């Protein structure tokens, strides 16, 4: 998804149909969202800083219609947000407009979140019910708001050893589907050896990727999960820590 020089809203229906609404027709999206047969798979919001007021106006209008019971909360499986400015206020307000029982994936690679904003969004039903969350520029400082997901890809301002261990335990203790994963990124990530030392885990390097064999500083550890036929494979990469739920050998 590229940066935009104008405001756009894109809807992809479950049948593959794509509806693309550009800035001058922004409010026509409300009529589209009211269509009874509309089954939305993806709702994509793209907006440069110069056009953000249009998105703010749209949020106000949709919120008023929902409060007046003239429009249901927006139903979509996946929500993509690519808007500036860096602050996350508009993202949070738009997220409130989405149906919490339908939303499965949240993708935002633009905004920075303050600790208060992260706590606010982490307590929203839309967030808590989502199975997949991507924050590519979140400057997040804790994993606590991501321990419920099946898949996450998050950039941290700083990643602590305790956070890595929390995420490992979360994935290890649940019977998650094969393919579930976490990617925790930061500029200077801790090594898995540091995690193991703090929590008294015996290191057992068992690479599953040929490129990791013989590379100094790389480590792959296999953990048991809530299912006898699955394992959690955790490895450190150049930019962070990655975990994958895989079928046992």
Question: Each residue of 107-132: pLDDT tens digit?
Answer: 998 888 888 899 999 999 999 999 99
Domain extent listing, the chain: 8-140
Within 8 A by CB and 6+ apart from 80, the residues are: 1, 42, 43, 44, 45, 107, 108
User: Each residue of 23-80: pLDDT tens digit?
Assistant: 556 678 888 888 877 889 999 999 888 888 989 999 999 999 999 999 999 999 999 9
Q: How far is CA 85 from CA 5, 7, 98, 121, 248, in A?
A: 13, 13, 21, 18, 45
Confidence of residue 196 (pLDDT cuts 50, 70, 90): very high
Q: Is residue 59 within a helix (H) or strand (E), and if so which, with residue range?
A: helix 52-67
Cα separation, 55 vs 62, whole angstroms = 10
What does the alpha-carbon distance between residue 130 and residue 114 come to, in Å, rounded to a whole number?
21
Tokens of 26: 């922004």
Q: Beta-strand (E) ranges in 162-229?
A: 181-185, 220-224
């Amino acid at each position: 998804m590229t940066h935009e020089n104008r405001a756009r809203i894109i809807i992809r229906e479950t049948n593959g149909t794509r509806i693309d609404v550009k800035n001058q027709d922004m409010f026509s999206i409300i009529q589209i969202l009211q269509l009874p047969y509309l089954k939305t798979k993806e709702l994509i919001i793209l907006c440069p800083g110069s056009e953000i007021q249009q998105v703010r106006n749209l949020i106000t209008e949709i919120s008023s219609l929902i409060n007046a019971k003239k429009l249901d909360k927006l139903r979509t499986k996946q929500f993509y947000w690519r808007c500036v400015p860096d602050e996350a206020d508009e993202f949070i307000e738009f997220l409130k407009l989405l149906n919490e029982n339908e939303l499965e994936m949240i993708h935002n690679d633009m905004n920075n979140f303050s600790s208060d904003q992260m706590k606010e969004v982490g307590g929203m039903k839309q967030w808590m019910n989502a199975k997949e969350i991507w924050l590519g520029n979140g400057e997040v400082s804790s994993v606590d708001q991501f321990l419920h997901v099946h898949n996450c890809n998050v950039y941290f301002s700083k990643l602590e050893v305790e956070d890595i261990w929390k995420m490992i335990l979360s994935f290890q203790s649940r019977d998650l589907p094969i393919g579930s994963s976490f990617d925790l990124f930061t500029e200077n990530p801790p090594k898995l050896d540091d995690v193991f030392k703090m929590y008294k885990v015996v290191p057992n390097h068992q690479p599953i990727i040929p490129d990791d064999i013989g590379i100094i500083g790389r480590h792959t550890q296999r953990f048991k999960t809530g299912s006898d036929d699955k394992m959690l494979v955790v490895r450190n990469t150049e930019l962070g820590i990655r975990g994958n739920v895989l079928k046992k050998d």
